[in-house]
Structure 1
């Protein structure tokens, strides 16, 4: 067993965090109990680049109990919960290479370390592991992989388009039980939680600018409005912009919004959604946060180039003073604010995402050698099974179609 973490003495506290997460992840725990019995992953080596949170810990433990050899690294330099990393090493024998506050060099060294375990299945969040494997031609032993987030799926689709993808990947992000809940309800709540932990500001009465109106942006905008914020949406897609208008939000260009916003949260998955020129238009005290996977959405280098001085005024809150005295506040170094300044998604929502991950890994192992090297959506039967497990855990019974109704839905002859 190998590991490189911050402090193994944190393991007891991390174990308590894992117990708390398990209590709120009934669907995944149901899967865990099932596969612990028959060990369908016996002898399978799995490498995962994920946020090392208590919820990820439950997923890793599930795979280990199913017989797999598991090695973990972080998908963000600031997202690791060090007590959880310690617990996974000490109590469950999982190889962890992650700690909060990694340098960029540390980050890639830890990804490199995972490949020493010769994984047959890889799990990724953002696509860095998949990219590393392909750039270094380390895919010979691979049965397939999964991808957790929108950014990673976009990268993998580009690899498929360029015909360089060498193994099948299941886009867990595209499951209904992932993006409809994790992206919208999970990030919607946890991104704001990260902002509040870093700043302790009052949202009510503030002009809040949400940059991007995908599922993540929808969730953030909805919750900011629920807290009393005046919400403005910045969006490049005419369809999404129209939807935001119909939902009752104001919609304008970034240049317009920059002049009036108090709090800005990016959720585009694209580079420089807030540029140096936009920052130059902002008023004194503006707060910048990012909810996208990579720290490219806010032009951090541009901000620092125009600042005459900067200081950390609160944990994860950096003050930048411009030449005219205006102060701009950057949260969590422009990285994922929910994980860098907070704890990430609530366990209840990660229950869905990580149930999809576990079942997708089982699917890949079962189908080894039969899937083409392309990006696949989560099979419908897995998506629906996860939803049913969650509903059952919540004590909710849904309607069942009668045989007559099933037959009616398949025919075309009956009309008015």
Structure 2
């Protein structure tokens, strides 16, 4: 057995376990095999390549799809890629890819002339728009709030095909973002740092669904939590949920651990870092690694020391230091051990993906061009399936 076969076998074993714990996709796979909604269609994907994603790709392939896929920077798991390649899928990327190589992988997927896009951060949508290939795309899905913002702002009026934004779904907001991300971010913080949660002071930047979940699970473990939120209604909600609420600059001196979850760039800047106590820990839970201004932080540091693969100590000119987790990338996909949201949360989110892609493939005339939420009838059907799979009806 060569090294590649051993890696693929390892990936297959991990996927086998995870597949057995994703009942929603298990239920839809034989349905897709019968309906074949993606026959003759190529799906271009840019999404974190890990075992749960592999189960999603298997489901889409069962529906007749040809897959051309790449992961997101820094989160690709090589054993999963090796297994998918052995199955005959065209999968690009590796864990150690540079940013330039990752950009080339995204470009290759976009340039493969996909009929449907399964996007994460609107990278593929931007690529097909920039290269003039958008007219040949039937439509797609976008996983993230960050990607939805790009579609509605940066790419507004330039995307001629329908894109269902999965993070606009109330079902996903509750199931995957609030509970999935909330649980996985706190679990990852504990696993990476081995720090105590009870009694420690946390600042969560952003009180969208992910921020709500992170704050909820931190408090459930005994953390003291404050919320920084500029939207008046979300700040109102956070206050009534019992959190201290203020602007980030006013919370910087109080906090010990700072977690961003806004989907927008430039949240933790030099000005904010200058107000933090010595030893403050910085983590990002948003899709893009832009919420913490890492480039500026590193540029003005006196030394950056890698403690381990997911922890860096950044010494500052005034003698203080801060601790940066995962280089500012998504903290719940970093470090050793299990990564990402729970299996059940991702099963829910990926069923939203599969049925939304089916709607785009088979009934595009029912959808308008541009970004839009998951159709209501799909949300309600998936909610029924999830309650049944969870056993909450028994």
TM-score band, normalised by shorter chain: over 0.9
Q: Residues 8, 99 of structure 1: CA spacing in aligned structure 2 closer, same or farther, 3 A cutoff?
A: farther
TM-score relative to the length of structure 1: 0.90
| Counterpart selection for 1:119 from 100, 114, 133 | 114
Question: 2:128 — aligned with what?
Answer: 133
Question: 1:288 — aligned with what?
Answer: 282
Q: Give the distance between the partners of 1:298 and 1:205, measured in 2 at CA.
A: 25
Question: 1:396 — aligned with what?
Answer: 392
Question: Bigger radius of gyration, 1 or 2?
Answer: 1
Cα offsets for 1:115-174 (capped at 9, x unmatched): 3532110110111111111011112321111111101111112256x4211211111211
Preserved contact between residue 159 and residue 165 of structure 1 (Cα < 8 Å): no
TM-score relative to the length of structure 2: 0.95
Q: Residues 372, 237 of structure 1: CA spacing in aligned structure 2 closer, same or farther, 3 A cutoff?
A: closer
Q: Give the distance between the partners of 1:211 and 1:320, measured in 2 at CA.
A: 21
Question: 1:364 — aligned with what?
Answer: 360
Alpha-carbon distance, 1:361 to partner: 1.1
| Counterpart selection for 1:70 from 67, 71, 86 | 67
Question: 2:165 — aligned with what?
Answer: 171
| Counterpart selection for 1:269 from 263, 271, 296 | 263
Question: 1:26 — aligned with what?
Answer: 23
Q: Give the distance between the partners of 2:104 and 2:7, measured in 1 at CA.
A: 23
Q: Give the distance between the partners of 1:269 and 1:385, measured in 2 at CA.
A: 28
Equivalent positions of 1:14-413 (< 5 A) are 14-74=11-71, 76-90=72-86, 92-158=87-153, 162-341=156-335, 343-368=339-364, 371-397=367-393
Q: How many residues align?
A: 390
Alpha-carbon distance, 1:7 to partner: 5.1
Partner secondary structure for residue 84 of structure 2: helix
Cα offsets for 1:323-351 (capped at 9, x unmatched): 23212100011011111336111110011
Question: 1:402 — aligned with what?
Answer: none
Cα offsets for 1:77-119 (capped at 9, x unmatched): 11112211111111x3211112113211111110121135321
In structure 2, runs of 5+ residues without a counterpart are none
Alpha-carbon distance, 1:369 to partner: 5.5
Q: Give the distance between the partners of 1:352 and 1:365, measured in 2 at CA.
A: 20
Partner secondary structure for residue 251 of structure 1: strand
Q: Residues 84, 175 of structure 1: CA spacing in aligned structure 2 closer, same or farther, 3 A cutoff?
A: same
Q: Give the distance between the partners of 1:217 and 1:67, measured in 2 at CA.
A: 37
Partner secondary structure for residue 80 of structure 1: coil
Alpha-carbon distance, 1:270 to partner: 1.5
Question: 1:411 — aligned with what?
Answer: none
Q: Give the distance between the partners of 1:373 and 1:63, measured in 2 at CA.
A: 23
Partner secondary structure for residue 265 of structure 2: coil
Question: 1:3 — aligned with what?
Answer: none
Q: Residues 343, 308 of structure 1: CA spacing in aligned structure 2 closer, same or farther, 3 A cutoff?
A: same
Cα offsets for 1:282-313 (capped at 9, x unmatched): 11111000001111111112211221111101
Preserved contact between residue 41 and residue 115 of structure 2 (Cα < 8 Å): yes
Preserved contact between residue 7 and residue 79 of structure 2 (Cα < 8 Å): yes
Q: Give the distance between the partners of 1:316 and 1:386, measured in 2 at CA.
A: 36
In structure 1, runs of 5+ residues without a counterpart are 1-5, 399-416
Preserved contact between residue 228 and residue 248 of structure 2 (Cα < 8 Å): yes
